[in-house]
Amino acid sequence: MINMVNELRRDYFLDKHVIIAKERSKRPTDFAANTRGVGEGECFFCPGSEDKTPPEIMRKTGQGGWTIRVFPNKYPAVEPKKDKHASQGEGEFIQPAWGHHEIVVETPRHGESICDLGVGGMAEVLRVFVDRITALKQEKDVEYVSLFKNHGKSAGASLSHSHTQIITTPITPPLVEEKTRGQRLYAQD
């Protein structure tokens, strides 16, 4: 078993993959048992807190400062490749969970949703998504890119400031491959 890095495990009986990311349990949360809101200066994604996140990969600016920021996730599910090794477990394949895990903060305004950005703002966010996916697909060992958004505690979000996550993996999940095959067959009919 690999102890130092996150793991990508495959159960051959169920043909399912899962990422084991031990450090993600240490990420901060805005949704603690108390219901007090996040105070000014407490949100890692708000303007003025840029030093509380990893260095930026991309930034879009407008009047008054940044409008969109992209940076590596401080608590990643997958991590950039360091060295090659994998081991076989009983009934499963275990390998390091190599990849990229990025955060896209779509707006500097804490209470604003991606839906509040208007057509121009939404178009700019979509362009950033396309730019990041295109750049990540050029990286060695990137087979699959997943873009997702959690909104609220029940959806798995740990911070309330509007953001989207991008994760890459060295494999395409079997369910995605199966759905892609089905779509191709449908298109051929």
Q: Whole-model pTM?
A: 0.76
pLDDT in tens, 94-149: 777 889 999 999 999 998 988 899 999 999 999 999 999 999 999 988 999 999 98
Q: What is each CA distance from 179 to 11, 173, 176, in whole angstroms?
A: 19, 10, 5
CA neighbor of 38 nearest in space, from 50, 29, 51: 29
Domain with 58 in it = 46-80+98-188
CATH number of the CATH domain containing 183: 3.30.428.10
Identify whether 135 is part of a domain: yes
Q: What is the mean pLDDT of residues 157-178?
A: 86
**Looking at the 3D structure of the chain, how many domains does it have?**
1
69 assigned to some structural domain:
yes
Q: Is the pLDDT of residue 178 over 80?
A: yes
Does residue 92 fall inside a structural domain? no
Identify the CA nearest to 169 among candidates 126, 136, 134.
136
Single-letter amino acid, residue 23:
E
How many beta carbons lie within 10 A of that of residue 74, not counting itself? 16
Residue with tokens 């060695």: 140
8 within a domain of the structure (yes/no): no
Asked if residue 86 is part of any domain, the answer here is: no
Residue 116 in any domain: the answer is yes
Residue 6 CA to residue 96 CA, distance in Å, equals 6
- Report the alpha-carbon distance of residue 156 to residue 153 in Å, rounded: 5
Q: What is the pLDDT of residues 55-77, one digit of tens each?
A: 999 999 998 899 999 999 998 98
Residue 61 in domain? yes
Query: Does residue 183 lie within any of the structural domains?
Result: yes
